Homo-oligomer: A and B are copies of this chain.
Amino acid sequence: MELRTLRYFVAVAEELHFGRAAVRLHMSQPPLSRAIRKLEHDAGAVLFERSAAGVTLTPAGVVLLEESRALLDRADRMRVRVAAAAGAATLTVGILGDSTDPGAMRLAAAYRRRHPGVEVRIRETDLTDPTCGLRAGLVDVALTRGPFDETGLTVCELRADPVGAVLRADDPLACRDRLTLADLAGRRWFQFPEGTDPSWQSYWNGGEPREGPVVRAVQECLQAVLWNGTVGMTPLGHDHPGELAVVPLTDMAPSRVVAAWNGSDPNPLIRSFVRIATAAYRD
């Protein structure tokens, strides 16, 4: 009955579905089933009722879920407390600047609340650096969007947003309910400055080289659309001024919201941050 196993159990107990829990845990379903069986054996109690109707918790499972959450929570705080005692009591979070995602600040606040002893610093960067200063060592963890060059980094997906084209409201295509990249052929797209991560640049240009004004921040993008008829893309689900229209693009891979950090194994402060972020973005 190790902590890892309890994390598996909590995932299954929350999803009430082995397949989905396995996805959440970034593993395949059979080892998860086996781990739960072993847990049931170790605990000497059946934890789930597997029936055709679905998976439900037994009374023993309910008790274990409650206790496991408390235990894992405590273990997580412990890690951070130890790291803080060792002197690493500051966490610098990089956020993609002018972010249209309001979750980021709330997340930082939640982390502060959970680990009062840790000083959290926020560093916002413009759109020219999708790693938010991770590569330069300016931040411990980046809360950003893909894609970007991940060599030497570890990336954890938090959510995947479909993207849409941003058009002026009076654009002929603005009234369409969906578009493909082909519909936008020949348009001017906004560009990022020289030296920007190529895969990032390429993604937001729909996969091919384009012409257009160079921008550095979200506001500049929007202005470029309004004033010059440039097009661009943005994740769906965020608010934009009324003069702009966002039309879903059906042939674009979704934009992944990710947490990223240097190296492979995060320090406890980062680990806890990612954990909280994962849970926060799940809702």
A: residues with CB less than 8 A from B are: 1-4, 41-46, 58-60, 62-64, 67-68, 70-71, 74-75, 77-79, 81-83, 85-86, 88, 265, 267-268
Contacts and interface: CB of A to CB of B under 8 A. Distances in A.
7 contacts: A43-B83, A44-B83, A59-B85, A60-B86, A63-B85, A64-B78, A67-B81
A268 B44 contact: yes
**Which of A64, A67, A70, A86 has the most chain B CB within a 10 Å cutoff?**
A86
Top 6 nearest A-B pairs (CB, nearest first) are A45-B86, A67-B78, A60-B86, A63-B85, A44-B267, A60-B85
Contacts of A59: 85-86
A74 B69 CA distance: 12
Contact of A2 (B3, B60, B79): B3
Given A41-B265, A45-B83, A60-B85, 11 more contacts: A1-B3, A42-B265, A43-B79, A43-B82, A44-B86, A45-B88, A59-B85, A59-B86, A67-B74, A68-B78, A71-B78
Contacts of A63: 81-82, 85
A76 B154 CA distance: 34
Contacts of A74: 67, 70-71, 74
A167 B3 CA distance: 55
A135 B83 CA distance: 49
A3 B42 CA distance: 14
Contacts of A46: 86
Contact of A67 (B2, B42, B82): B82
